[in-house]
Amino acid sequence: MSKSYRDGLPISPENFVDQLMRLKRGSIGRRDFLGLTGLGIATAVMAREIGIMPTPAFAAENLGDRMSIATWPNYHDPATFENFKKDTGVAVEVNVFGSNEEMLAKLQAGASGWSLFVPTNYTISTYKKLGIIEPLEMAKLPNFDGSQEDPRFTSEGTIDAVTYAVPKNWGTTGFAVNTKKLTKPMTSWKEFWDTAMAEGDSRTMVHDYQLTTIGNALKYYGYSFNSLKPDELAKAEELLLKVKPHLFAVSSDYQPGMRAGDAWMTMCWTNDGAQLHRDIPEIAYVLGKEGGEIWTDFYAIPKDAPNKPAGYALLNYLMNPQVAVKEHLANGAPSTDARVNKVLPKEVLDNPILYPAADLLTPLEFGAAATLTDPGRAELMARFKSA
């Protein structure tokens, strides 16, 4: 018998008449009535909106219907937020930022509107000092398992035994090269800066970010990425001013330029490097052998978060290894969570962009809190940009 268009309808006409007659006889369950009329769904939605009835998945608290997260460009699998909305009814608004300083400035100014944000390791102590970050109630994050985290990457989320942030992923800062345009193999920051003034003239990008742009200029001379020494910073400034006229752009949003072929080389974070290489195989990711930056990005909740329940709910959702795996596959940065690394496909774990050789990782430095807030480095960056 061929399928009728009626198959799969919520209720068949016959069934409807039956129910109607039962209703007329006065015998109908409340559930039937609500289901039949659609009033049930309507009340449930209304109740959730105005906070009378909790959502089934998070019965303890009302999550509201929207929240906002501050994060980085090209950083999440969009499906994550769609699925979260499907599960909880909470729509996630994504605010994208170019630097930790900008995030800090917004939070400092107050009423950022975020219920979750993604700070980098070295900023967390500053947030704590300023009292604008929430100590996390770990009981609300059953999906997080501290014993599965690598403390090398995650220690900066915890200050005086209080956890203020839990890790999203870690990564490095290297550079991406279009090897079809710049054919000479490169392995160091010295080559990066020298190439920028030669074959890579007017095709090279550096970050609009003092931490990495000054830090990697310092590496040209083998100084510490975090140096605050005036004489070393003066050498870095001299190099930056010399390179400046040869640059294509000073911008932290370098994927469009690299993908369009306008830029041939750029300072680059692991996740962007992995995405670029995945889509355009001739774009290689290089770690300077002199060292440079290693980082961990965390999730944290601002003290003035307008929707903390939803912030916790999304954070807990993101800590689910099944969700995290999809995030890592989309974003490209390596995980700090052993449970996630266990599930990631072999080709990801073998990808040298994500999990570089030990001899390249050893010289890398975590950015320091003092480096972020140092006015001297801020002024140096301004002089570089205004030159």
Binding region for other proteins (CB under 8 A): 99, 101-102, 104-106, 108, 126, 129-130, 202-203, 205, 208, 210, 244, 247-251, 256-257, 260-262, 373, 375, 378-379, 381-383, 385-387
Cβ at position 41, least distance to other proteins in Å: 37
Cβ at position 54, least distance to other proteins in Å: 39
The dihedral built from the CA positions of residue 189, 206, 292 and 212, taken in this order, carries a sign that is positive
CA distances from 387 to 196, 244, 382 (A): 17, 8, 8
Cβ at position 159, least distance to other proteins in Å: 15
Tokens of 20: 């109607």
Cβ at position 270, least distance to other proteins in Å: 23
In the bound state with other proteins, the residue whose beta carbon lies nearer, of 213 and 351, is: 213
Cβ at position 373, least distance to other proteins in Å: 6
Query: CA 85 to CA 102: how far, in whole Å?
Result: 27
In the bound state with other proteins, the residue whose beta carbon lies nearer, of 101 and 304, is: 101
Expressed in angstroms, the distance from the first to the final Cα of the chain is 79
In the bound state with other proteins, the residue whose beta carbon lies nearer, of 129 and 152, is: 129
Nearest Cα neighbor of 318 from 70, 58, 80 is 80
In the bound state with other proteins, the residue whose beta carbon lies nearer, of 80 and 99, is: 99
In the bound state with other proteins, the residue whose beta carbon lies nearer, of 125 and 316, is: 125
In the bound state with other proteins, the residue whose beta carbon lies nearer, of 54 and 257, is: 257
Cβ at position 119, least distance to other proteins in Å: 14
CA distances from 54 to 60, 309, 317 (A): 7, 12, 18
